[in-house]
Amino acid sequence: MTANSLFTRLRDACAEDWEAYVAHPFIRGIQDGTLPEACFRHYLIQDYLFLIHFGRAYALAAYKADTLQDIRAAAENLRVITDVEMGLHVEFCREWGLSEDEMQSAPEAEENMAYTRYVLERGMAGDVLDLHVALAPCMCGYADIGRRLSEDPATVWEDNPYRAWIDMYASDDYQDGTAHALVAMDRLYERRAGENRMPDLIRTFGQATRLEIGFWQMGMNAAT
């Protein structure tokens, strides 16, 4: 990402919230392997439910798009989530003793509902750029976290039960996918926005980032 990319500008405008998100105690527990397993299992179940709504958001992005290029990009993101990422998530969760039936029947946490409905609301009330900005903290945040943990000498690798999770988000595939999404968001900004839209986009990005913090805290609260 470049210094002038839309994501960089949004992240820098919400720097305090962003740091609280990517360096949350939940993430520090993943980094050193001390996160209680009950917290991680609860997170995995809610993340499965979250991904369903993430897929809905990209379906909405296709509907909101006004060029074939953007429709195809949204359709590809939807395909990756439903056909690839969901499958990988189910396989990963199976290793943690969680079946897909169990996750499908789990109640949706309030923090999950607040976040996913906010994203969908921004897409319904605004345009496709508003929707992509609301989605950005999720994909970009996980990429930032994966990169940070993989490069940080303080990360514990040996006997860390969360190593596979770190490797997944630090992988070239995930990092490259995020980079392509950021290019698409810059393209939307060039076509649909000017500087007068930045305050609203910053508010959307900041709120979505705070809801991500709440998602981590939801996982932490499972230990209490």
Q: How far apart are the first and last CA of the chain?
A: 38
Catalytic, out of 14, 39, 93, 138:
138
Nearest to 93 by CA among 161, 41, 30: 41
Catalytic, out of 14, 39, 93, 212:
212
Q: Which amino acid is at 215?
A: F
- The residue with tokens 């109640």 is 107
138 is an active site residue: yes
93 is an active site residue: no
Residue 189, burial from CB neighbour count under 10 angstroms (0-12, 13-18, 19+): buried
Residue 33, burial from CB neighbour count under 10 angstroms (0-12, 13-18, 19+): middle
Do the Cβ atoms of 137 and 54 come closer than 8 Å?
Answer: no
CA 117 to chain centre: 14
The catalytic site residues sit at: 138, 212
